[in-house]
A and B are shown apart, each in its own frame.
Chain A
Amino acid sequence: MNIIVCIKQVPDSTQVKVDPKTGTLIRAGVPSILNPYDHYALEKALAIKAKTGAKVSVLSMGPAQAVAVLRLALALGADEGFLLSDRAFAGSDTWATSYALATAVKKIGQFDMILCGQMAIDGDTAQTGPGIAYHLNIPQITFCESVDSDGQHAVVKKLIEGGHQIMQADLPVLITMTMPVDYVAKYPSFMAAHKAQDKQVSTWTAADIGADLHKLGLEGSPTRVSRIFPPAARAKGEMISGSAEEMAAKFVEILKKESFVK
């Protein structure tokens, strides 16, 4: 059984700050991390590997330094890594990104299951996974909390409005993962990090995967940013400061005035 996990390097959102004056992001010194949803998806793939002996490959698209997240994945137990890195990919929106990743998956060849995080925390679109599934002409199940496989089928717990459903899919299938609240990401031991250096990471350009250049980068991206602007300013309300006791008293006074406490 072959599993491909699509992963992305993103800025650590818990450390990204906003410049109060310009409203833009302060990226200086913000570390890059493996997108947490992808981290979870990878761990699920490795759990299937532990059970069935599946081969787990990891695929990412990004600048050369994105190789760091592939190395993390290899240290955690993935077998082989692939990085799509080429200026031709720059400017890609979710359409072009999913086309490029799907084309790379075809080049990798063998796959029974593709796992993705439900979305990247720097984009929040949740579109790339379904896009890849379309380009590969395989079914998808999105927003899954767990996944298992007997080698013939995938069985997932998928979130739906107001609950969840257990679903079964024929292979090959693409599954996007969401993480449970108590999820604590695993990190490799020092020795595992050391040994990951010897695993293979292939870097591919657009030409290497035989992608149609008209479907990459700006050309392959229907959406355009036409304007950016700060959110509309509003009048400031009443500001209250003082000791905790004073403020608590004022808080209750307000609740009474607005009749939330009778």
Chain B
Amino acid sequence: MAKNDLITRNLMLDSLKQYAKNRISHEFLREHDAKNEIPLEILKEMYDHDVLGVHLLLIPEEYGGLGGQTTEIYRVCEQLARIDLGIATGVFATFLGSDPINVGGTPEQKAKWFQKIAHENKLVAYGATEADAGSDLVSLRTRAERVEKDGKIVGYKITGSKMWISNGGVADIYTVLALAPGGPSWFIVEKGTPGFTQDAHEDKHGIRLSNTAGLAFDEVYVPAENLIGLEEGKGFLQAQAVFGYTRLMVAAFGLGGGEEAVETALMYAQQRIQAGGPLSEKQGFMLKLITPHYVRFEAARAYIDWTAKQLEINNHGLATEGAIAKLYATESGNKAAEDAIQAMGGFGYTKEFAVEKIKRDVKITCIYEGTSEVLEMTIFRGRWQEHLKSRGQYYIKQAEEFEALHATHPDVGADSVALGFRALARVLEDCRLQKLTRHQYITFMLGDLISEAEVAAVFARQCAEGKVTEGSRFDLATLKIMSRVNARLSAFKIATEGMKLILGVGAASAQDLSQAVNLVGIEEKMTGLIEDEDLVSAKLRETFKA
């Protein structure tokens, strides 16, 4: 059977939207949010093969699934997040929980468990996090002791505990990371196995429609065939192999949540009459609270989509790109949701409108599947190696590429992308010379600046290639304006933040440094910035007309 094409993806998304429209009202969400209750019946319906069968996306075709590609999975994640991030998390947990089987399972294990998940619509949970092992799994405490019979390993006894497990209290199947004698390993544990208990559902800040619970294992016996891959010690590799991919899904959550919040605020602003006209016609309102967020959403969408297409070619890996996508999209979504409340004033602060809940919900995307700080560190480590290996040329080369691109496509902001890359190369080199990366704060901030530069670059290149990102509601002309705005702002951020870091920690002449990062050159590109932003505002009003 053919891979899903664009029309098929859009059909799936339409079905999902229509389902949500018919079955999941704001009142319904509000009620469950207040009661801190998972709508299990909704999850079951979404898994029902005749209704949606959304979980089939993650199951390979040969086991009765759809063998979903990264693109449709991230787009479904974005749409789920627009409906409710709690429900989205419940679905995602099944995706995530099945991944160790997908990556490390033997054909027999895949056949057995995937068919169970596909046909019996089982909820799955991913059991990795512990009290002392969060985004960083090194300090794993849960243990798996071998049970031998006649000198043969017949099973394992798992002892320990997990915390903050999504679907923890409601799943039917759990994939659990535990330390076996041969090293960290994944085990499949079914609900009801003696000694395995689930804690009470957490009382959380947001995603209250997602069940989150601790797991306790007291000498829980699982047969040896439940060791994923039938080989001990592969757990970390299996976990990391999917990070690029799973983080892309959470990136789409950040994007979807943010979009929903900003669009709600924009619809509201078009009906709110202030000083003789709708709020949405006011420049200050738009440029401060709405427009910059949508520019970042389109940049994030372009980057997520590009990464997804890369993953479809390379299968797994791309850990740095996955981290960039997640950091950029979730932080953008989180800040946007905060401003959406501000944009709606008192109404935004009440539960009558969705933005207040979205703000609480979307925060989790900056935390789970790697906190923003862990991601910044990951991104820094990945690109620092490149910087060193290339003797400082890694971003210079990319700057040259974008200078050439600007010559042929002068309307996508490639010139500013190039300036940003040159500034970034210089900042990294100064950090190397002055050994500034011994400061943890510097490494975090460098990770952030790297993500700014790379996202702006991908967005500009996609626009130059004439690509309208799948799922975008804008035409190419508008995306080009957005790319110009985004590239200028990111170059400026790289130069000024970079200078701040070096001047703040190391020793340098401010004047020399500002010349070295070409701050004036970057600032000169600001000409026409506000005009471009006004054009984006007008397009936003047109596209999201109340």
Contact = CB atoms under 8 A, between A and B. Distances in A.
- Direct A–B contact present (CB less than 8 angstroms): yes
Interface of A: 17, 26, 28-29, 67-68, 71-72, 75, 184-185, 187-191, 193-198
Contacts of A28: 473, 475, 539, 542-543
26 contacts: A28-B539, A29-B473, A29-B543, A68-B7, A68-B10, A71-B7, A72-B11, A72-B14, A184-B22, A187-B14, A187-B15, A189-B49, A189-B51, A189-B53, A190-B53, A191-B49, A191-B56, A193-B8, A193-B12, A194-B12, A195-B1, A196-B8, A196-B11, A197-B1, A197-B5, A198-B1
Nearest to B65: A191
Contacts of A194: 1, 4, 8, 12, 66
B2 interface: yes
Nearest to A195: B1
B18 interface: yes
A197 B19 contact: no
Counting chain B CB atoms within 10 Å of each CB, which of A26, A188, A198 scores highest? Answer: A188
Given A71-B11, A198-B1, A191 B542 contact: no
B54 interface: yes
Nearest to B19: A187
A22 to B, nearest CB: 12
A190 B14 CA distance: 10
A197 B8 contact: yes
Interface in B14-68: 14-15, 18-19, 22, 48-54, 56-57, 66
Contacts of B50: 189
B368 interface: no
B15 A193 contact: yes
A190 B57 contact: yes
Contacts of B543: 28-29
A185 B66 contact: no
A17 B544 CA distance: 10
Interface residues of B, number: 33
Interface in B56-112: 56-57, 66
Nearest to B273: A241
B285 interface: no
Interface of B: 1-2, 4-5, 7-8, 10-12, 14-15, 18-19, 22, 48-54, 56-57, 66, 473-475, 539, 542-546
Contacts of A29: 473-474, 542-544
Counting chain B CB atoms within 10 Å of each CB, which of A72, A187, A190, A191 scores highest? Answer: A190
A188 B11 contact: yes
Contacts of B539: 28
Contacts of A67: 7
Contacts of A71: 7-8, 11
A108 B438 CA distance: 74
Contacts of B475: 28
A190 B51 CA distance: 8
Contacts of A75: 11
Contact of A190 (B22, B56, B545, B546): B56
Contacts of A185: 18
A197 B14 CA distance: 16
Counting chain A CB atoms within 10 Å of each CB, which of B54, B57, B66 scores highest? Answer: B66
A190 B52 contact: yes
Contact of B53 (A17, A72, A191, A198): A191
Given A17-B546, A29-B474, A197-B5, 5 more contacts: A185-B18, A189-B15, A191-B56, A197-B1, A197-B2
Counting chain A CB atoms within 10 Å of each CB, which of B22, B52, B56 scores highest? Answer: B52
A189 B52 contact: yes
Nearest to B15: A187
Contacts of B545: 17, 26
A176 B22 CA distance: 26
A189 B544 CA distance: 28
A78 B544 CA distance: 34
A190 B66 contact: yes
Closest 8 CB pairs of A and B: A193-B11, A29-B473, A187-B15, A17-B545, A29-B543, A187-B18, A189-B53, A190-B12
A198 B5 CA distance: 11
Nearest to A65: B7
Counting chain A CB atoms within 10 Å of each CB, which of B10, B12, B57, B543 scores highest? Answer: B12
A191 B14 contact: no
Contacts of A198: 1-2
A190 B53 CA distance: 6
A241 B15 CA distance: 41
Contacts of B51: 189
A26 B542 contact: yes
A188 B48 CA distance: 12
Given A29-B543, A68-B10, A191-B56, A197 B49 contact: no
B546 to A, nearest CB: 8
Contacts of A188: 11, 15
B4 A197 contact: yes
B481 to A, nearest CB: 14
Contacts of A26: 542, 545
A198 B2 CA distance: 8
Contacts of A189: 15, 48-53
Counting chain A CB atoms within 10 Å of each CB, which of B10, B15, B22, B54 scores highest? Answer: B15
Nearest to A18: B545
B259 to A, nearest CB: 13
A47 to B, nearest CB: 15
Contacts of B48: 189
Contacts of A17: 545-546
A178 to B, nearest CB: 21
A253 B545 CA distance: 35
